[in-house]
Amino acid sequence: MANPLKALGNLNELRKQAKKMQQDLAGEEIRIEEGDVVVVISGDQKIKQFSVQGISSQDAVDVLNKAIKKSQELAAKKLQSMTGGLGGMMGGKS
């Protein structure tokens, strides 16, 4: 008979690895420049800079980050329904 506590230990380890990956991604930056448009985004999908023709707007950055967060929440919800709620056991947060 399989040890259910061992499975929980494995889930805890996966959670730790996922958290470390998120921290590593947050430290990365991707910069894209095309024409007069510049976008700088972190590896964890947060817009850090957005400008068009050298003009940037913190309001635009805030709205873009809000839209990204909403799309991530939607994806997390869909994934959670597919996994039968296992995301909550792994420390998933929507």
Residue ranges of domains in the chain: 4-89
With residue 92 as reference, give the H or E element that holds it.
none
Please list the pLDDT of the chain residue by residue as tens digits (94 residues): 566 666 666 778 888 888 888 888 888 999 999 999 999 999 889 999 999 999 999 999 999 999 999 999 999 898 888 877 554 554 544 4
| Cα–Cα distance measured from residue 33 to residue 54, given in angstroms and rounded to the nearest whole number | 11
| Cα–Cα distance measured from residue 5 to residue 2, given in angstroms and rounded to the nearest whole number | 9
pTM over the 0.75 mark: no
43: DSSP letter: T
Q: Which pLDDT score, from 0 to 100, does residue 21 have?
A: 87
The 8 Å CB, 24+ separation contacts for 33-39 are none
